[in-house]
Amino acid sequence: MIIVLEQKVTEEKKAHIRRFLEKRGYQVREIVGEVETIFGAVGTPGIDLREVELLDGVSKVVPITKPYKLASRELKKDDSVVSIGPVKFGGGRISVIAGPCAVESREQIFAVAEAVSKAGAVVLRGGAFKPRTSPYAFQGLGELGLSYMKEAGEAYGLPITSEIVSPAHVEMMASYVDAFQIGARNMQNFELLKEVGASGLPVILKRGLCATIEEWLMAAEYLMAHGTDNVVLCERGIRTFERYTRNTLDLSAIPVVKKLSHLPVIVDPSHGTGLRGKVIPMGLAAAAAGADGLMVEVHTNPDEALSDGPQTLFPEQFEKLMRDIEAMTPVLGKSLEHIPRRKPFSAARKPADEGENLAAFQGVPGAYSEEALRQYFHESFQPKACRHFRDVFEAVASGECRYGIIPVENSLAGVINENLDLLLRYPDCRVVGEKEIRIVHSLIAKPGTKLADIRRVYSHPQGLAQCEAFLDTLSGAERVPFFDTAGAVAYIAQQEDAQAAAIAGGGAADYYGMEVLKEGIETNPRNYTRFYIITREETDETGGREPNRMIMVFSTPDEPGALFKCLKILAEHGLNMKKLESRPIHGKPWEYMFFVETEIPGRTSYEAAVEQLRTASEDFRILGSFYTRK
């Protein structure tokens, strides 16, 4: 049952309710949500729910109708975020696990770890105890394999996971792995589930070869009932009559499970298809279907692999898969998880303590900038709304917020010049990352409003312009320009105007208790906005990776070929220019600063180019550098 606690319940009352339930044989979990705190009580004692409802501090009691309780969405409405080492699964991330089917040697696991970490995998996989169909096939290196894998994981900063096949291995394996993997063949090995669950370590739970979704969730329930809250479900294909693929990868299970359970769901397209050529398309399809991540088999020499070679990707194929997923993330509204390696603030410039975890954006809550900020930082930073772009820079420069996010260009409307100018005016603020989101406009109105009633539509002029074709279908509706999109929603929420609507992102409707009348009303769906992440420090937001993109700004002497000379330096050092903008220099009519974004192929060529540019140009400055997959 779910016990919803009163909003201001005291710790004392909570302890009393917990004692009451535990004494009657229930297991109790506290779940703190955004709106309410609940106790989930599971077990079989038959008591009258009214007895619980009468307890002091209880607001209401709701029975859980599903046979799985702790894993159920009824118990927990928000998505669970599961941590494996420093890496997170769920909550808007796509987290990718990769590695060989089996650990074969120290050299092999090191080589694969290097390749997959370079391509962006965040967890290293590898079997040490292989449950093979034939007793004569390679059975794995056992504990020695785990020790090689632990070493390789540490060398490349990757947490590791490996399959456990026997309850007797729990203690030994717990000293090596960051997460247990329960294989398809063991999904209903209940003694194993109990022991693994009791270890408290995170678990990746594969779906059994012939398991229904409910049986799979019941297996998760076993793990959770015995002590771990950190379960990642993994769809890996089920047995059907089809024999062309090794299994039938059931991607429809993803939206089904996401509705039934709060647990993250990942997909293993390697075992799911059994064929290398099918892994990339099905991996992309899994991401499109809403998977929170992938588990992929990769080997530096798959043709020599001791197990599952035919379904194992070459490192270059894995790299392509990662690039393609990254390209999909703006459409999915997610971000690819990377290993967080954050440098602490330097003591001299430390902001107020609370600023440590704040990130500033311009606009009111529900703005697209806030959406970008959430997709980039997830729950690790609190958004702070600022009125103007300048305020975002101020908040970062003063140390009030550790980070800021600023839009720099929209794929339809072009560059946001004000922010380029502000980058010049705030030399303390450096660009350390970028985030691209897809702009999906919605028509938002008060709950109960009908499309036919709308007479006035408020939005930022850009929002109105980008939805022109749709607005033409609302005959006679006046278009009212407003200072920002989410601000328009906030405004009509306060008005007594039953004929008003606003155009903004769907998030604004949730925030102001309004209703989306129609989603995706933009004329051109290929509408993206790119943001820069700014901070005062050279932090390691790039996930410890060498930056491969640099933004610089300079002016040139007033002479023939001056800009050409600077660009020639880029060309000579192999720095591929991705963007060139010019902005007027304030106070110097008809003189310009040039903003250049370039790829950095390697440290030496980059340093040599910068040195030459400093002499060839005037006022040369680097505005920042970061890692991007583009």
- Coil, helix or strand for 5? strand
Dihedral sign, CA of 531, 625, 157, 312?
Answer: positive
* Residue 503 to residue 518: CA distance in whole angstroms: 10
Nearer to Mn ion, 101 or 282 (CB): 101
Choices 165-173, 180-188, 451-459, 517-525; region in contact with ligand PEP by CB under 6 A = 180-188
The residue of the chain with the least Cβ separation from ligand PEP equals 183
Which of 183, 293, 330, 355: binder of ligand PEP (CB under 6 A)? 183
Nearer to Mn ion, 101 or 263 (CB): 101
Query: Residue 159 binds which entry of ligand PEP, Mn ion, none, with Cβ cut-offs from 5 to 8 Å by kind?
Result: none
* Residue 167 to residue 191: CA distance in whole angstroms: 7
* Residue 610 to residue 605: CA distance in whole angstroms: 9
To the query of whether residue 531 is one of the catalytic residues in this protein, the response is: yes
Number of residues that bind Mn ion (CB under 5 A): 2
Choices 250-258, 303-311, 519-527, 536-544; region in contact with Mn ion by CB under 5 A = 303-311
Residue type, 159: P
* Residue 548 to residue 630: CA distance in whole angstroms: 10
In the complex, least distance from residue 309 CB atom to ligand PEP, rounded to whole angstroms: 13
Choices 179-187, 462-470, 541-549, 570-578; region in contact with ligand PEP by CB under 6 A = 179-187
Asked whether position 101 contacts Mn ion by CB under 5 A, the answer is yes
Contacts of 426 (CB under 8 A, 6+ apart): 393, 396, 397
- Please identify which residue in the block is written with the tokens 């089809």: 242
In the complex, least distance from residue 307 CB atom to Mn ion, rounded to whole angstroms: 6
Number of residues that bind ligand PEP (CB under 6 A): 10
Q: What does the per-residue mask of binding to ligand PEP show for 214-243, with x meaning CB under 6 A? A: ----------------------x-------
CB 456 within 8 A of CB 501: yes
- Please identify which residue in the block is written with the tokens 């339930």: 21
Residue type, 94: I
To the query of whether residue 37 is one of the catalytic residues in this protein, the response is: no
Q: What does the per-residue mask of binding to Mn ion show for 364-393, with x meaning CB under 5 A? A: ------------------------------
- Coil, helix or strand for 333? coil
Asked whether position 299 contacts ligand PEP by CB under 6 A, the answer is no
- Coil, helix or strand for 468? helix
Query: Residue 236 binds which entry of ligand PEP, Mn ion, none, with Cβ cut-offs from 5 to 8 Å by kind?
Result: ligand PEP
* Residue 597 to residue 372: CA distance in whole angstroms: 21
Residue type, 551: I
DSSP string, 380-421: GSEEEEESSHHHHHHHHHTTSSSEEEEEEEETTTEE-HHHHH
Q: Which helix (H) or strand (E) holds 488?
A: helix 485-494
CB 311 within 8 A of CB 275: yes
Q: What does the per-residue mask of binding to ligand PEP show for 156-175, with x meaning CB under 6 A? A: -------x------------
Q: What does the per-residue mask of binding to ligand PEP show for 84-113, with x meaning CB under 6 A? A: -----------------x------------
Starting at the earlier edge strand, list the strands of the sheet with 58-62: 27-32, 37-42, 2-5, 58-62
Please, what is the Cα angle at 469 between 463 and 470, to 5 degrees?
A: 75
Choices 178-186, 210-218, 361-369, 529-537; region in contact with ligand PEP by CB under 6 A = 178-186
DSSP string, 156-200: HT--EEEE---GGGHHHHHTT-SEEEE-GGGTT-HHHHHHHHHH-
Asked whether position 308 contacts Mn ion by CB under 5 A, the answer is yes
Choices 7-15, 42-50, 177-185, 216-224; region in contact with ligand PEP by CB under 6 A = 177-185
Asked whether position 295 contacts Mn ion by CB under 5 A, the answer is no
In the complex, least distance from residue 375 CB atom to Mn ion, rounded to whole angstroms: 32
Query: Residue 409 binds which entry of ligand PEP, Mn ion, none, with Cβ cut-offs from 5 to 8 Å by kind?
Result: none
The CA-atom distances, in angstroms, between 213 and each of 9, 243, 543 are 37, 22, 35
DSSP conformation class of 294 = E
Nearer to ligand PEP, 65 or 134 (CB): 134
Q: Which of 312, 529, 535, 539 is catalytic?
A: 529
In the complex, least distance from residue 568 CB atom to ligand PEP, rounded to whole angstroms: 52
Pairing of strands 549-555, 592-599: antiparallel
Q: What does the per-residue mask of binding to Mn ion show for 58-97, with x meaning CB under 5 A? A: ----------------------------------------
In the complex, least distance from residue 270 CB atom to Mn ion, rounded to whole angstroms: 7
Nearer to ligand PEP, 268 or 370 (CB): 268
In the complex, least distance from residue 308 CB atom to ligand PEP, rounded to whole angstroms: 7
Which of 76, 93, 206, 384: binder of ligand PEP (CB under 6 A)? 206
Nearer to Mn ion, 235 or 308 (CB): 308
- Coil, helix or strand for 261? strand
544's tokens: 């410890």
- The maximal CA–CA distance of the chain, rounded, in angstroms, is 89
In the complex, least distance from residue 295 CB atom to ligand PEP, rounded to whole angstroms: 7
In the complex, least distance from residue 102 CB atom to Mn ion, rounded to whole angstroms: 7
* Residue 213 to residue 259: CA distance in whole angstroms: 12
Q: Which of 393, 482, 531, 554 is catalytic?
A: 531
The CA-atom distances, in angstroms, between 19 and each of 24, 51, 89 are 9, 14, 33
Query: Residue 163 binds which entry of ligand PEP, Mn ion, none, with Cβ cut-offs from 5 to 8 Å by kind?
Result: ligand PEP
* Residue 532 to residue 541: CA distance in whole angstroms: 12
Please, what is the Cα angle at 532 between 564 and 433, to 5 degrees?
A: 95
Which of 87, 113, 164, 184: binder of ligand PEP (CB under 6 A)? 184
- Please identify which residue in the block is written with the tokens 């583009």: 630
Q: What does the per-residue mask of binding to ligand PEP show for 14-43, with x meaning CB under 6 A? A: ------------------------------
In the complex, least distance from residue 329 CB atom to ligand PEP, rounded to whole angstroms: 25
Contacts of 621 (CB under 8 A, 6+ apart): 427, 552, 553, 554
Q: Where are the alpha helices (DSSP H) in 64-136?
A: 106-119
In the complex, least distance from residue 299 CB atom to ligand PEP, rounded to whole angstroms: 12
Query: Residue 263 binds which entry of Mn ion, ligand PEP, none, with Cβ cut-offs from 5 to 8 Å by kind?
Result: none
Query: Residue 79 binds which entry of ligand PEP, Mn ion, none, with Cβ cut-offs from 5 to 8 Å by kind?
Result: none
In the complex, least distance from residue 207 CB atom to ligand PEP, rounded to whole angstroms: 8
Asked whether position 127 contacts ligand PEP by CB under 6 A, the answer is yes
Nearer to ligand PEP, 239 or 526 (CB): 239
List residues near ligand PEP by CB under 6 A. Answer: 101, 127, 163, 183-185, 206, 236, 268, 271
List residues near Mn ion by CB under 5 A. Answer: 101, 308
Positions marked active-site:
529, 531
